[in-house]
Structure 1
């Protein structure tokens, strides 16, 4: 009888959970469908630009974000495209009186922030206000905040102002303990992607390029803040070196902020600026909501378009995913754009550290074919390195931001020998037969001969030779000069332009204008369309449900091992020939 009641109780609980989940799914579907309705923007509205969520090229909307419940854990991913479009529209919209920036700690790369900051500077030409309030500001957050007319800081908060840094992880000690032997094959003094497996610290070459790269990004960072806040660059450097911006009072004394105050004080000042009664709420409108309002700048001819093809993430073969660039999917999309007579020119928007050498070459070929039919311009975002640069070099013109990370022209190969690990740690051994001495080559389950290793290195050398020759042809420079800039070295956008690896410094809008001019189109005569097209809210909803379910199932099954499995999958993607940036770089 007790067992019977246990089954009844389990069934009852299952039904309750099913009803609970069904409610959220149906509510999300209702929200997704209703979100298509046009939004009305009231007079005296303020565009709220919340940059604290993850920012990528094209946004991903989570229909559950505002509902709470089991699928609301991830906030919306904000699209750079949407942010820039909202700022342009708001500049001319009489109902938008100004912008409120929420930018304590943006989750974006430096080139993405540069695009946003430049558009905010353009917005200021409208004579409308830009204000920001923060309990604290990271250096990335302050980079955006520094353009504001009024910068409010909580009296108990602070600003991070101690210079930029980049830290790398090394796994040689881990592999030594596991008795896993990484076999590395590379070309180029600076191709240090494999140092995480073969060293416990940075090589001198890696330190040199990292120091110069981060120095170039820091110089651009300080120059722009100096212009916005009217603080000399040398003073900004001294303040970072001496850690003098250590509390809100010092930030105010050194003109980093304009006011210290709490939210209610900031809100009160903003109400006076807007001439809104004290008892009434300020009409804040977010980017997603604003873009549904219909307050848009008039677009050009529907039959004349500039196509922007977004390539974001690591490069792989096949279809890829929302977080990677699949060569097969990319080729299919680009071919469709090429065959569409309404699209007169193409911008390839690249945000990628590279990946598979083969997939990179496949996409380069398709870009070359397209460039014979219509203008193709490369627009580099935060990073367009190695395989990302491989794509760009097939375009007519390359546009990069000053702080874009690019170059890394080089190739490496990586194979893991797991024989000792499997034998000594797990007790697993391997044996087999073949029709020739090298039938199982390349292999991870035995020690390869020196001859076999030399054949892999030969393949890497040939890949490097192909990469550099194609890059030299695309850049219209000698192979010798190109190789002096290659060696796997990364450059900032500024350095890349000085070296001839980039043509123009600017953002995606600059690339679109160059594409339009190349296609002999006048401003206002064309429309801009992004590809692949953004998923509809209902599709995003279903993808969200399925994605969360898979992730949670993996976490439940593997527990604390789940993050390591994710890392393992990433390592497996690095197998074979790679055109990948020489390190995982996060500058903060």
Structure 2
């Protein structure tokens, strides 16, 4: 504001000098030069002052953000179950609100578990208040791991209470660990079982004149089906029913134990009743919740647990506060590196942007990081935390080779998160030991190539034709694949390429797991397995948590004392600020609105046309739960 006032004053004086120019040119020039120099000096001084204030504000924000939190006596950790919960946090910068970029609405499972642990170990924190129940989780295993951490918290003798206006299914599953579950009088519990319907676009593509060409190995490899079928195949139905049934059975057992009801009775209730529309009184009668409360009443409930008076303030700690509470972990003994690899496996960052962005595993970047850990003498063992449904087979092989290089020098233990399937299993297979969460989705040993042919649209409907010359039969084969009428010979050779890739996948798993390729083929074929089932077929060695993987790594490295360090390091706020991008352009939003339900399949065609990673080791990717 000061700058604009100053600028107006300068403009006014310039106008006065212009008026005098005709009568006194020499005097004007002299005064003009003086004024110009004064203006330049003023702008420089103002810029310096503004810059100084900016730096002071910056230092204040950063210092405030990083200052250690002092926990007051008789405090409660308020855990808000809203937004999305992913493998690691995606925090913004101190300037996001100022720049209008907003909050990501994302919480990291790593941050949540670390904060719950700190709350357990801190004598001044008396309990946890779970507030809200609309969080979305990137996988059933993510919700399970959060619940396990809260269950461990209760072993300290401290309390947990939960309150929400409405509970989504996964949030309710987490909340059943609480001593008491409270609900708004007009609230709901949307407990419905697992499942849903997938979208199939073949009918749309047929109308547009687009045909997807597929080369694949694995009768259960269902990723391609949304583009090539009008409904679910029997093989896909079989595997989905198996792993969803296994996850629900695990969740049902834990929810029943938490609410002190019989599992079969709870299962029947979910099947027979649309609980999202069931009145609160009936939910209380069915023991799904304990009581209906208004916000001021839940506050009184917490005060009562803290033994506070009516007018006393509740000392509350948010997730951000807890992250700045000093950890009791001391850096004694050998270092165990925990390397997080989550998201789609891609050949390059550019390919990730083509596929829609989000966190990804870039083959070369991750492989380079792992090589550095192999050469770091301070690192005595590596826990490779994998949460991925796969992606590029080439990038997967690049990472697998780097894992082998580590294994040649020090122990490597894989900890599987929500999913470690297809390419995610490929990069896990060389480890000394594999530990998976009970509800991890794994396996999917199979590969495919998927290429759209748009000749029916471009030539038959739009009238665009192609002609040219070539020196050899397959010169320009890529154009022929996507716009030619006769692609039979090209697809035959591509199928041979995919067959060789699948055999390589079998050999990779056989080598890593101590099996024969024929044995891997029997449990492969692209089939997705729940980790509890994968244990019996030797795809994993043990069911357990990330902590269990760290302990196993310490055991293999023969470490009596150890500490962990997370990799790759989270980028600093300045790096985040420099790389920050808007979540979507205005044009993109308008196109979405115009195309409606057709937006996603059409964008998929665009991506597949530009995707040069012809061999994909990827599983179905619709395992997010709410």
Contact 2:188 2:280 in 1 (8 A): yes
Moved more, 244-253 or 554-563: 554-563
Moved more, 118-127 or 416-425: 416-425
> For the structure 1 residues 194 and 574, does the alpha-carbon distance in structure 2 shift closer, same or farther, using more than 3 Å as the test?
farther
Q: Which residue of 2 aligns with 1:578?
A: 616
Residue 255 of structure 2 is aligned to residue 225 of structure 1: yes
Residue 111 of structure 2 is aligned to residue 77 of structure 1: no
> For the structure 1 residues 446 and 80, does the alpha-carbon distance in structure 2 shift closer, same or farther, using more than 3 Å as the test?
same
Q: Which residue of 1 aligns with 2:585?
A: 552
Residue 148 of structure 2 is aligned to residue 115 of structure 1: no
Between structures 1 and 2, the one with greater helix share: 2
> For the structure 1 residues 448 and 329, does the alpha-carbon distance in structure 2 shift closer, same or farther, using more than 3 Å as the test?
farther
Task: State how far apart, in whole Å, the 1-side matches of 2:241 and 2:210 are.
Answer: 31
Contact 2:389 2:621 in 1 (8 A): no
Task: State how far apart, in whole Å, the 2-side matches of 1:542 and 1:276 are.
Answer: 46
Residue 128 of structure 2 is aligned to residue 90 of structure 1: no
The structural deviation recorded for 1:551 is 2.7
The structural deviation recorded for 1:66 is 8.6
Contact 2:79 2:129 in 1 (8 A): yes
Q: Which residue of 1 aligns with 2:524?
A: 486
The structural deviation recorded for 1:31 is 3.0
Q: Which residue of 1 aligns with 2:579?
A: 543
Task: State how far apart, in whole Å, the 2-side matches of 1:100 and 1:543 are.
Answer: 35
Contact 2:216 2:498 in 1 (8 A): yes
Q: Which residue of 2 aligns with 1:346?
A: 382
Task: State how far apart, in whole Å, the 2-side matches of 1:123 and 1:574 are.
Answer: 48
Residue 245 of structure 2 is aligned to residue 215 of structure 1: yes
Residue 354 of structure 2 is aligned to residue 328 of structure 1: no
Residue 331 of structure 2 is aligned to residue 300 of structure 1: yes
Task: State how far apart, in whole Å, the 2-side matches of 1:574 and 1:45 are.
Answer: 55
* Structure 2 unmatched ranges of 5 or more: 1-7, 9-50
Task: State how far apart, in whole Å, the 1-side matches of 2:191 and 2:136 are.
Answer: 17
Q: Which residue of 1 aligns with 2:162?
A: 132
Q: Which residue of 1 aligns with 2:296?
A: 264
Secondary structure of 1:240's partner? helix
Residue 99 of structure 2 is aligned to residue 61 of structure 1: no
> For the structure 1 residues 24 and 172, does the alpha-carbon distance in structure 2 shift closer, same or farther, using more than 3 Å as the test?
farther
Contact 1:180 1:416 in 2 (8 A): yes
Q: Which residue of 2 aligns with 1:453?
A: 491
Q: Which residue of 2 aligns with 1:255?
A: 287
The structural deviation recorded for 1:533 is 0.3
Secondary structure of 1:167's partner? coil
Which of 182, 203, 208 lines up with 1:152 in the alignment? 182
The structural deviation recorded for 1:171 is 1.0
- Computing the radius of gyration over CA atoms, which structure comes out larger, 1 or 2? 2
The structural deviation recorded for 1:554 is 5.2
> For the structure 1 residues 161 and 539, does the alpha-carbon distance in structure 2 shift closer, same or farther, using more than 3 Å as the test?
same
Contact 1:408 1:582 in 2 (8 A): no
The structural deviation recorded for 1:537 is 2.5
Q: Which residue of 1 aligns with 2:417?
A: 381
Task: State how far apart, in whole Å, the 1-side matches of 2:411 and 2:613 are.
Answer: 35
Secondary structure of 2:305's partner? helix
Task: State how far apart, in whole Å, the 1-side matches of 2:612 and 2:173 are.
Answer: 34
Which of 301, 308, 314 lines up with 1:282 in the alignment? 314
Task: State how far apart, in whole Å, the 2-side matches of 1:569 and 1:96 are.
Answer: 52
Q: Per-residue displacement from partner, 1:361-419 (whole Å, max 9, x unpaired)?
A: 11111111111111111111111110001011111111111111111000101111122
Contact 1:33 1:538 in 2 (8 A): no
Task: State how far apart, in whole Å, the 1-side matches of 2:439 and 2:113 are.
Answer: 18
Contact 1:414 1:574 in 2 (8 A): no
Task: State how far apart, in whole Å, the 2-side matches of 1:497 and 1:228 are.
Answer: 26
Task: State how far apart, in whole Å, the 2-side matches of 1:33 and 1:363 are.
Answer: 38
Task: State how far apart, in whole Å, the 2-side matches of 1:401 and 1:56 are.
Answer: 15
Q: Which residue of 2 aligns with 1:504?
A: 542
The structural deviation recorded for 1:28 is 7.7
Task: State how far apart, in whole Å, the 1-side matches of 2:345 and 2:484 are.
Answer: 29
The structural deviation recorded for 1:25 is 12
Moved more, 426-435 or 210-219: 426-435
Secondary structure of 2:504's partner? helix
Secondary structure of 1:392's partner? coil
Secondary structure of 2:166's partner? strand
Q: Which residue of 2 aligns with 1:16?
A: none
Which of 227, 230, 235 lines up with 1:205 in the alignment? 235
Q: CA RMSD in A?
A: 2.5
Task: State how far apart, in whole Å, the 2-side matches of 1:29 and 1:419 are.
Answer: 59
> For the structure 1 residues 280 and 69, does the alpha-carbon distance in structure 2 shift closer, same or farther, using more than 3 Å as the test?
farther
Task: State how far apart, in whole Å, the 1-side matches of 2:532 and 2:553 are.
Answer: 21
Q: Which residue of 2 aligns with 1:11?
A: none
Task: State how far apart, in whole Å, the 2-side matches of 1:391 and 1:54 are.
Answer: 26
The structural deviation recorded for 1:311 is 0.8
Q: Which residue of 2 aligns with 1:17?
A: none
Contact 1:84 1:119 in 2 (8 A): yes
> For the structure 1 residues 251 and 582, does the alpha-carbon distance in structure 2 shift closer, same or farther, using more than 3 Å as the test?
same
Q: Which residue of 2 aligns with 1:408?
A: 444
Secondary structure of 2:615's partner? strand
Secondary structure of 2:394's partner? helix
TM-score normalized by the length of structure 2: 0.84
* Structure 1 unmatched ranges of 5 or more: 1-7, 9-21
> For the structure 1 residues 570 and 516, does the alpha-carbon distance in structure 2 shift closer, same or farther, using more than 3 Å as the test?
farther
Task: State how far apart, in whole Å, the 1-side matches of 2:469 and 2:417 are.
Answer: 50
Q: Which residue of 2 aligns with 1:184?
A: 214
Moved more, 235-244 or 567-576: 567-576
TM-score normalized by the length of structure 1: 0.90
Secondary structure of 2:465's partner? coil
Task: State how far apart, in whole Å, the 2-side matches of 1:111 and 1:556 are.
Answer: 32
Which of 44, 51, 54 lines up with 2:81 in the alignment? 51
The structural deviation recorded for 1:217 is 0.5
The structural deviation recorded for 1:539 is 2.5
Contact 1:59 1:76 in 2 (8 A): no
Q: Per-residue displacement from partner, 1:272-330 (whole Å, max 9, x unpaired)?
A: 21122323332221122212132x113232x7211111111111113457511100100
Task: State how far apart, in whole Å, the 1-side matches of 2:303 and 2:590 are.
Answer: 52
In the TM superposition, 1:7-46 aligns within 5 A as 31-46=61-76
> For the structure 1 residues 370 and 173, does the alpha-carbon distance in structure 2 shift closer, same or farther, using more than 3 Å as the test?
same
The structural deviation recorded for 1:356 is 0.6
Secondary structure of 1:62's partner? coil
Contact 1:400 1:505 in 2 (8 A): yes
Count of residues paired in the alignment: 560
> For the structure 1 residues 29 and 75, does the alpha-carbon distance in structure 2 shift closer, same or farther, using more than 3 Å as the test?
farther
Q: Per-residue displacement from partner, 1:422-474 (whole Å, max 9, x unpaired)?
A: 23444433222221011122431213442222110001111111101211221
